[in-house]
Amino acid sequence: MATAVTAVRRYGIAGLAGTARYLVRTAGSITADLASATVRTGEVVAGAIQGTRADPGTLRLTVLILSDENGVPLLQPADLTASIERADAVLRREANVRLRHVATHLVTEPAPTAALDPRANKALLLDEALGRTEFYHRHLNDVEDTGSVTDVVGRPVTAIVVRDIAGSTTGCSLGISADWVVVQAALFQPHLDQHYDETVLVHELGHAMNLPHHPSSGNLMYFASSPPDRLRGTRLNALQRAVINANRHVIPGVRG
């Protein structure tokens, strides 16, 4: 009881409600991932016994492009094409998963500075837990193709294009606790050669599918990528492939 009272005093009722929503969402995601992994394991075993192979699984992607304080979009949808195509190619080659781009939406409402320039990593996780990412959630809820809380398997991952991310971070995912990631607009603009990086979108999708960082610079989940000359690699290992294919976001391919 004292802990709850302290939380209300420090963060307010909205913060406490945000924490409750965060915990419920995280618990639901864990349950869905465990259920998906169990079913997928059974399918793999049955396929091995029957000698069948699966068609590629499908990961669905929706994109929200924010507009700045003056209502100017940070990007145009066409700017995303190269990174989306790169993500599809990497996931097909490395994990037998195709990326289906569902839609890109321009958010015309001017975004507050805190949404345009979010904090990163643990700070963003704290903001999510305390309900400070409400602008994102309001627009996620307004767009039908970002999925529904009733989706057990195959809910799209939504990439939210922001202006800047705290520190030297260019993308951030909250992993199992969220179905969205944030990516910096400069990543998709080839004329900004010190920022343009087609690996970041698919790297953040990897995090959204529960992949942690990897110590090898040739791996897609390597923590750093420095354009234009020192980009991370795009390889995945067998364990990473298994984690992706067991994830709740991936619609399994048909076996035959």
Domain assignment present for residue 138? The answer is yes
- Per-residue pLDDT, averaged over 231-243, amounts to 97
Q: How confident is the model at residue 3 (pLDDT cuts 50, 70, 90)?
A: very low
Using one digit for the tens of pLDDT, what is the confidence trace for 182-222? Answer: 999 999 999 999 999 999 999 999 999 999 999 999 999 99
Domain assignment present for residue 134? The answer is yes
Could you identify the residue written with the tokens 């929706």?
62
Nearest residue to 97 (alpha-carbon basis) of 252, 256, 254, 255: 252
Cβ(114)–Cβ(104) below 8 Å: no
Q: Which carries the bigger pLDDT value, residue 254 or residue 16?
A: 254
Domain assignment present for residue 243? The answer is yes
Helix ranges restricted to H, the chain: 2-50, 81-95, 113-116, 121-129, 134-142, 199-208, 238-245
Range with the poorest average pLDDT among 52-66, 142-156, 190-204: 142-156
Does residue 17 have a pLDDT over 60? Answer: no
- The per-residue pLDDT for 1 is 43
Give the domain CATH number at 72.
3.40.390.10
Domain assignment present for residue 45? The answer is no
Domain assignment present for residue 50? The answer is no
User: Which range marks the domain in which residue 204 is found?
Assistant: 57-251
Domain assignment present for residue 26? The answer is no
Domain assignment present for residue 11? The answer is no
Instruction: State what percent of residues in the chain have pLDDT above 90.
Output: 66
Q: Which carries the bigger pLDDT value, residue 5 or residue 198?
A: 198
Per the structure, the count of domains in the chain is 1
Domain assignment present for residue 34? The answer is no
Does residue 41 have a pLDDT over 50? Answer: yes
- The per-residue pLDDT for 154 is 87
Could you identify the residue written with the tokens 């976001």?
249
- Per-residue pLDDT, averaged over 58-67, amounts to 97
